[in-house]
């Protein structure tokens, strides 16, 4: 208990420091320095600049090749103006830890400290992966893997957790198999000869073409996708720089495509291209299509799922363990789950009063940081449990 109290208080302090000084993806230089300082204080060796700002720390005990696992946390922030009113709110205007990465990182640092002091209880190697740039394609996970972050001693399993404001503090969520969707960015550029809005017969109406294009693309989700495959195709940007009486020469559209099936993912890309070009042509306009392929599907290993769920039930009771459904959001942890047996589970950070809870990526997102006690304890116990199996 004294050990947990020591690292819990340190985690609170670290979390608030990270939260106050957030940095965007690929710009997390000072956050990386802070992580290194904390690891230096713990006396845990690490390597830096792994695929960018990534850091990999390593603990070994006894026969270090006997069992090798990895634990991962991300540490980048989002381009959001914080509106929480916290004493330690962001001092970097327009940048905020609105996805809980400050919780993830401070927790993993504490877990590293606890596991180091409990080395007599386990034998093997534990990697602590502090990953940059989760929020931005191509994703820090992919870049760290491309940089061979583990070297010759590869882990058998890799585990990560993510905060969830829909779960109360003390609750955990798990799902076996496919869990989070792939994520691709779709960019459409419709061009033609614009003109005066009062004389549409003399030009190509790019705005009408673009509007019809968005409608036509919805047939992919309503008619073309196999019924058993979840998918989302949403457009959040429609930019036509005209005026009340001016139809512009160009309209830009951007959106997101998400699904759970790699074969269908490829087919859908072709449908997007085909429908976009044919629709534009029917209005005497042209459409340039760019699809930026993002993260793959997050897949949870059945053994890790069962082990973690049973441990959570044992420690916190069945009423505090939730079976998760498919989630259409995406995570670059998927790159790890496509290469190693992995587990990505949810940590409850919701306040008792629902009025205090806001969703991820909200400018008012304010997780109950008392969840760090559960975060540190559970990940520590889960790591030891898996090493013993």
Residues taking part in catalysis: 76, 134
Give me the DSSP letters along 278-328: HHHHHTT-EEEEEEEE----EEE-HHHHHHHHHHHHHHH-GGGEEE---B-
Take residue 221 and report the two structure tokens written for it.
């989700």
Give me the DSSP letters along 37-105: HHHHHHT--EEEEETTTEEEEEEEESSTTS-EEEEEEE--BBS----S--TT--SSTT-B--SSHHHHH
Q: Do 81 and 362 contact (CB within 8 A), yes or no?
A: no
If one counts every other C-beta atom within 10 angstroms of the C-beta of residue 318, the result is 10
Strand partners, 178: 299
Strand partners, 70: 127, 158
Q: Do 129 and 70 contact (CB within 8 A), yes or no?
A: yes
Q: Do 186 and 272 contact (CB within 8 A), yes or no?
A: yes
Take residue 274 and report the two structure tokens written for it.
């085909």
In whole angstroms, give the CA distance from residue 332 to residue 134.
6
- Secondary element (H or E) of residue 231: strand 231-240
């Amino acid at each position: 208990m004294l050990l947990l109290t020591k690292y819990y208080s340190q985690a609170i302090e670290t979390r608030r420091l990270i939260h106050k000084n957030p940095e965007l993806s690929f710009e997390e230089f000072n956050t990386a320095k802070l992580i290194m300082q904390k690891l230096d204080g713990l006396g845990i060796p690490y390597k830096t600049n792994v695929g960018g700002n990534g850091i990999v720390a390593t603990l070994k005990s006894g026969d270090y090749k006997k069992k090798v696992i990895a634990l991962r946390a991300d540490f980048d922030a989002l381009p959001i103006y914080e509106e929480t009113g916290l004493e330690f709110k962001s001092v970097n205007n327009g940048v905020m830890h609105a996805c809980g990465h400050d919780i993830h990182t401070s927790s993993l640092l504490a877990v590293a400290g606890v596991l180091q002091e409990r080395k007599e209880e386990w034998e093997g190697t534990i990697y602590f992966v502090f990953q940059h740039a989760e929020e931005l394609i191509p994703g820090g996970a992919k870049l760290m893997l491309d940089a061979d972050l583990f070297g010759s001693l590869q882990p058998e399993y890799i585990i990560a957790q993510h905060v969830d404001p829909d779960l109360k503090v003390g609750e955990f969520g798990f799902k076996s198999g496919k869990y989070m969707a792939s994520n691709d960015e779709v960019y459409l550029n419709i061009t033609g000869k614009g003109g005066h809005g009062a004389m549409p017969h003399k030009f190509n109406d790019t705005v009408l073409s673009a509007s019809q294009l968005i409608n036509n693309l919805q047939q992919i989700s309503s008619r073309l996708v196999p019924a058993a495959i979840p998918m989302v195709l949403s457009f959040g940007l429609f930019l036509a720089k005209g005026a009340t009486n001016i139809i512009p020469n160009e309209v830009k559209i951007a959106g997101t495509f998400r699904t759970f099936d790699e074969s269908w993912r490829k087919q859908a890309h072709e449908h997007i291209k085909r429908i976009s070009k044919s629709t534009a042509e029917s209005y005497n306009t042209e459409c340039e299509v760019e699809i930026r392929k993002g993260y793959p599907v997050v897949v949870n290993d059945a053994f890790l799922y069962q082990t973690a769920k049973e441990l959570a039930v044992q420690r916190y009771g069945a009423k505090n363990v939730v079976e998760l459904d498919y989630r259409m959001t995406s995570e670059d942890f998927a790159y790890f789950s496509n290469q190693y047996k992995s587990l990505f589970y949810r940590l409850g950070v919701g306040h008792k009063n629902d009025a205090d809870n806001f969703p991820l990526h909200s400018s008012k997102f304010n997780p109950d940081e008392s969840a760090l006690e559960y975060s540190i304890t559970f990940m520590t116990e889960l790591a030891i449990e898996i090493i013993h199996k």
